[in-house]
Structure 1
């Protein structure tokens, strides 16, 4: 889930940036960190993440009876896409180094889990549920940490609530036996739809904040 920083009144000094910048002038096309920060802080980027989440959630709800291999591919593609959005969102604004690394770690968790889903054509329901449960649990815990530590996080309360729900969802998936692909896809699809709706609301709230 991508929640950028609140729009800053003034840009921080160059010495305060935890990640070193290039020698290119500020705002120039040659500064990749500036480009990532602008992209990650854009409300359209948050909206794109929300739409991607909604699309995969709807697909899983519409096709709950597909084969396990198809379900694993859909989940893997979603996790890879979510990893990209999380990576770019980590550079939005000017968070502290520890908070930025926690967001980058979430991106790595998503990408690794996505690759495991795509490279495992013989995945069982148990293994797939284990991957999803671990992703929800780890990303939820890191999301809770980011929401508590970063007082400049946009929609901090919403981010904390969704991260806490992710922790609960991860524990539920890991503790309760899921015996069919249909049950797993419906659970995941419902979660992605709710997550996508929350991200959509956050995107439009961010647009209003930027306009003000």
Structure 2
């Protein structure tokens, strides 16, 4: 169980650091970052479409799955090509997608704050506050009141940096609380023997 929790912690730390790095990139180079991400999404869609088309032509047997591969392949390839040629349209969707991700992270932070409260961590309310701010920032991105996409992309970067830093703080508090619980359990085991 300890190994599982340790690997889970490492995954959360890696995710938080990735958020910070991605956020810094977006905040420093918003225009280039957003175009590169959109073109990357277009390339992934295009290659996925080509892979589905290749599957259709190599396994052409008339089954429904084969026909679905043809249809999905055409749709993905056309969509991918369109996104590569028109990344500006996808750029307008990015704030909403990132907003959903940040909101989900915020809800997760709220759940972790409740766990800290249940485990009687004295500063659980800080995690709760961080979670509430994260949810608020995510909702702000979803409704994207900003006119300039670059400003929104820079703000997304700032929000991701904040999200990563708040995740690191919450993870450190959860680890500290888990360590204290583990030490208490060990002490109880020793006194029971």
TM-score (norm 1): 0.47
In the alignment, which of 113, 117, 133 is matched to residue 147 of structure 1? 113
Unaligned runs of 5+ in 2: 42-79, 184-193
Query: How many equivalent pairs are there?
Result: 135
What's the counterpart of residue 34 of structure 2? 68
What's the counterpart of residue 93 of structure 2? 127
In the alignment, which of 135, 138, 143 is matched to residue 175 of structure 1? 143
Measured after TM superposition, the shift of residue 73 of structure 1 is 7.0
TM-score (norm 2): 0.51
Deviation readout 1:129-155 (Å, 9 max, x if unpaired): 222223333443354245336623977
Contact 1:137-1:167 at 8 Å conserved across structures: yes
In 2, distance between residues paired with 1:143 and 1:204?
13
Larger radius of gyration: 2
What's the counterpart of residue 137 of structure 1? 103
Unaligned runs of 5+ in 1: 1-26, 28-33, 76-118
- Does residue 1:56 correspond to 2:22, yes or no? yes
What's the counterpart of residue 5 of structure 2? 37
Deviation readout 1:171-211 (Å, 9 max, x if unpaired): 22233433333112210111122233334444555666648
In 1, distance between residues paired with 2:13 and 2:26?
20
In 2, distance between residues paired with 1:67 and 1:208?
36
Point out the structure with the larger helix share.
2
